[in-house]
Structure formats: C-alpha cells, structure tokens
Amino acid sequence: MNARGIAYNKTLFAEKGWAAPTSHEEFISLVKTICAETDMLPITLPGMYSGTYFTLMSELSHCDFLMTADGVTWAQDFSKGEASSREGFGAGIALIKDWEAAGAFDAAQAEMSDQDTINMLISRECVMTYLVGGQTYFLKMIEGSADEFGTFPLYGMGEDSSFCATSYGNKIGLNKRLGEPGNEKKLEHALKLLELFSTEEGQELFRSSKADILPLAGTAAELPEEFIPLNETMNRGHAAPFLYSGYEDILALTGEYLRENVTGGDLDGAFTLMDSIRQDTVKNHEKGNVLATVSQDLTTEQTCRLVVNALYATGLGDIALCTVQRHTPGIRIAAAANGKYYQGDLDTTNIDIPIGPLYNNPVSTQEMTGAEIKQLMETGLVVTSKTGVTDYLPFISAGLDPEKLADEETYMVVFSPSDCGETSPLEKTTVLSDVAWKEFWRDYIIGIETITPDSVK
C-alpha cells in the first residue's frame, strides 16, 4: 500500500536551519518562517484534482476526531443523514484555516498535478509538497538529485495527533462459489494462498515498488528512508484508508468548493454544501426518487444544448448565451455547460451535473445591443484564472438567432451564474434575477420526464 504525507527537502532544511515539524503548531510556525525568509512556495499540492482538497480536509479531520470512537459513530450517523458535516469535518476545516492564515495556500496550486509538485520540490521551487500520489515517481525522481528528502505525517491539535492516510494497491479475497459443493479442493488451495499472503513473505511477492509499504506492524521489509516516518505513524495505529467509499456524493463538489475558497473565501460554506448534498442522497435512497430518465447517452454537444435551452426557458430574455467546455492543456476554467448525461435515471445525485459549478446562484441578465451580442459570440468569454492565465470559452445560444439581430437594437440576454463569477468580465455588468438556477433546472428536466436527442434540438 501507499502512505500519504508531506515530503520535504531535508538538505534545504539543514541549510536554512529549519527543523521538520512534530506538531501542528510547529508546522504552522514553519510555514510562516518560510514565507518570511524566502520567496519559495512553502508547500505545493496537486490542486488540479478537486479530490485533493477533500482528502486534505478529511485527513486533517482524522488527526483529531475521525480516528476516535466518536468519529466512527459520527461516520455511521452521517451516512444516514443523521449527523452534520461540521461535527465530522469541523476539526479539519479549522486546521485548514490555520494553513491558510499562515500562507500555505496559493492560487497557483489549483493548476498543479502530482508530478508537477514533485518536480517543483526537487528543483527547489517549493520547500514541501503534500504527497497524495505518485510515490513511485517521487522515489524515481529524487534518485538523480543531490539533495536528500524526507517525509512527515499530517498533524492535528491534540497530543500525538499525527495521521497518515493509506491507499491499497492489491486486495485479496475469496470467491463465494468456493463454498459450493465440489469446490472443496479449490477452497483448500485458496485458503493456503490467503495464509501465505498474510505473511511478510507472501506480501513481498506483490510488492511492485520500493514505495510500497507492507501493512504489517514491525515488518523487517526494506523501506526507503524517506518513508520511515510515515511507516512509524502507521505502526502506532494512526492510519486509515483515505476517505472515498461512502463519500462519493460529496467528494468532488466539496473538493471544488474548497479549491475555490482556500485562498480567501468562506470555508465554512463547505458544511452547508456537504449537508445539502448528503440530505439529497439520503432522500434519493429512501424514496427511490427518480426525477427523470435519459433514453440514451447524449453527446456533450446535446447536453450543452439542453442547458442553454433551459436558460432561455426561464423567460427572462430574448436570447440565452451559455459557455461550453473547452480544454486547453494546463488551464482549468469551468464552463456553464460542463459534462453530459448518460442513459439511465436521473436523481438528486446526478441531475445537476451539466450546469456548472455555481448552480446554487441565481440566473443573471444584461441588456446588450445586437452588435455587442455578435461580438461576444465571436470572442467567447475571456477569463483570467487566479494564476494569471487567460483563456476563452465559446458561447452557444438559444432563442433569437444572433446572426439576425439588428446591430443597433437592444436585447435582453440571459446568462448562467457560472458565466458571471468573480473572475468573469460579466460579473460587474449583469443583474441578478430572482430565478434560482438549480431549482429552475430541476423543474425543467423533471418537466421533460424522458430526455431524448429530440429534446435538445
């Protein structure tokens, strides 16, 4: 299995007179010192994956609460919608706020992959990196460096509150059919293999990389020096698999929310978001609440057409404009129509997938001349990311044909809230309506009942 923690440049630490932290307080003090004494990023993390931020929140929450008996009880209650996310993840959010205040987060992190962060650590573009993946790549790359590297676990507020999340590469079990009559010999052989795989010798057979840590306390297996601190944390019982199973409904959206807010936003808003999503999930399971059905897979283009048609159906304007996703390597800008519908039932867990990240906000409108609308269709929505990278997203329209608009006449244009966020030039020129986008979208889709390719013409 792989262990997750924070990797750091030991050689650089020695040169600067810094010590590896052994508590949350020492970590925060270290981040502040790095910010004060250098121009380097104190820490990087692979922020291009939204799950990174959810993982950080959940792992920090493990330090002080989730790995306790009360934490286990909370997880069971939360799965049934009977506990608040604040109770379970409040400790993690509080620690993230400390990280933010110390200067640990930077807008540039939102564009980084795990390989980017490791390369930056080796090239001394950062001092530490949150190592959530790429452990094998990490060991391979540091071999060619003159510097030495180490790791340490995440820390909470309490004494001995270190924590190390794990991910398993191989899971072994028995086929239920081995218990059927006639399979006695096969079952006997399978049990012998399980017995072998429960030993250090057997697990070594599956070890494909030096980065793999055997899940056995006191193992004598050779382990890279860099991972010894994480292994020691695991051996003290301060480890658990990273949260995924049972949290699929909240993981991505919560991660995206945290990614947008760790550099100065409302982090407490994550609790409201998680509770809302989880309540929807529970209601869906309890009632078998199918809201609509998709008859066959829609293309991305068809799904985007469905979104802009819904915007126009609000009745707020003469024409609706909506950006569609466009991929530029290394640049992450979410469009107002983002994702697609697949064949099957739609419920509260998947009905909102295509309508962009700000769907809880109201729809916006703006009066524009025909010439201005044509110009916007030609240039697209030009947006500058938090890292200073500028890119554009193309528009599609519904309602009046943009090409047939009179240049000097004025028209009311309807926009998705996702096209009017704080990084958009439309944010200051549009007017909020009283139509909540998510609520209208759901009513629109429910009204169609069965979505077919004919629904999106």
pLDDT at residue 209, as a whole number = 61
- 364 part of a folded domain: yes
Contact 335, 326 (CB under 8 A): yes
* Residue in the block written with tokens 């330090």: 63
331 and 434 both lie in a single domain: yes
Q: How many domains does the chain have?
A: 3
200 and 145 both lie in a single domain: no
Nearest in space to 304 (alpha carbons), one of 328, 358, 332, 340: 340
* Residue in the block written with tokens 């286990």: 72
- 126 part of a folded domain: yes
Helices (DSSP H) in 148-247: which residue ranges? 184-197, 200-205, 228-235
- 266 part of a folded domain: no
Cα 167 from Cα 162, distance rounded (Å): 17
Contact 34, 258 (CB under 8 A): no
Tens-digit pLDDT string for the chain (457 aa): 677 899 999 999 999 999 999 999 999 999 999 999 999 999 999 998 878 999 999 999 999 899 889 999 999 999 889 999 999 999 999 999 999 999 999 999 988 988 899 999 999 999 999 998 767 888 889 998 999 999 999 999 977 889 888 765 556 677 778 888 888 888 888 888 888 777 767 666 666 566 566 555 555 556 678 877 887 887 777 877 778 778 888 988 899 999 999 999 999 999 999 999 898 888 776 656 788 999 998 988 899 999 999 999 999 999 999 999 876 655 566 788 888 898 888 888 789 989 987 888 999 999 999 999 999 999 999 877 666 677 888 999 999 999 999 999 999 999 999 999 877 899 899 999 999 999 999 999 999 999 998 888 7
pLDDT at residue 294, as a whole number = 93
Q: What CATH number corresponds to the domain at position 156? A: 3.40.190.10
> Domain containing 297: what range?
290-456
* Spatial CB neighbours of 248, under 8 Å, sequence gap ≥ 6: none
Give the domain-ending residue among 196, 217, 249: 249
347 and 438 both lie in a single domain: yes
190 and 228 both lie in a single domain: no
- 88 part of a folded domain: yes
- 257 part of a folded domain: no
- 187 part of a folded domain: yes
369 and 330 both lie in a single domain: yes
pLDDT at residue 160, as a whole number = 82
189 and 300 both lie in a single domain: no
- 258 part of a folded domain: no
Contact 263, 386 (CB under 8 A): yes
347 and 227 both lie in a single domain: no
Three-state secondary-structure class, residue 319? strand
- 393 part of a folded domain: yes
- Following DSSP, what letter does each residue of 379-440 receive, concatenated? H-EEEE-TTS-EEEE-EEEEES-GGGS-TTSEEEEEE-GGGSSTTSTTTTT-EEEEEEHHHH
Question: Residue 132, exposed/middle/buried by CB under 10 A (0-12, 13-18, 19+)?
Answer: buried
Give the domain-ending residue among 187, 220, 249: 249
166 and 151 both lie in a single domain: yes
218 and 323 both lie in a single domain: no
245 and 322 both lie in a single domain: no
201 and 328 both lie in a single domain: no
Cα 378 from Cα 373, distance rounded (Å): 9
59 and 113 both lie in a single domain: yes
pLDDT at residue 187, as a whole number = 86
